[in-house]
């Protein structure tokens, strides 16, 4: 397991629900306030974290849909599954963005 850190150096917990959804980093003049590749590294770490985070929530929602269907709430389960499908489409785009960021960092 690897640890990710926010812009203040605090560990970002994952795999639990005890987290906040605020991840801010303000750079001025195209990251002129950052030294070296700090901003690029932070963006890579944050994008990686967000993709994993979203995938985790999609799996949890899928499990919830199963439970609702077993409880006789097929209509609600169907709506959740459609939402999970949308979530997965967004995650595919995030995954592509992550690949592109990694490629740009290799070139730099």
pLDDT above 90: residue 82:
yes
Residue (of 71, 12, 90) closest to 4 by Cα position: 12
Q: What is the largest CA-CA distance in the chain?
A: 56
Among left, alpha and beta (phi > 0; psi -120 to 50; other), residue 100 is alpha
* Residues pairing with 12 in the sheet: 4
What pLDDT sits at residue 44?
92
Contacts 24+ apart (CB under 8 A), 101-105: 101/40, 101/43, 101/44, 101/47, 102/44, 104/40, 105/37, 105/40, 105/44
The per-residue pLDDT for range 24-69, each reduced to its tens digit, is 444 444 444 455 567 888 899 999 999 999 999 999 999 999 999 9
The per-residue pLDDT for range 92-102, each reduced to its tens digit, is 999 999 999 99
What pLDDT sits at residue 30?
47
């Amino acid at each position: 397991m690897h640890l990710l850190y926010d812009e203040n150096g605090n560990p970002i917990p994952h795999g639990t629900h005890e987290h906040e959804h605020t991840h801010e980093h303000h750079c001025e003049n195209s990251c002129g306030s950052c030294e070296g590749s700090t901003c690029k590294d932070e963006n890579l770490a944050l994008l990686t974290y967000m993709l994993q985070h979203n995938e985790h929530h999609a799996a949890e929602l899928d499990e919830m849909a199963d439970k609702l269907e077993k409880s006789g709430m097929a209509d609600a389960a169907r709506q959740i599954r459609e939402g999970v499908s949308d979530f997965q489409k967004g995650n595919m785009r995030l995954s592509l963005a992550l690949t592109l960021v990694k490629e740009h960092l290799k070139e730099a």
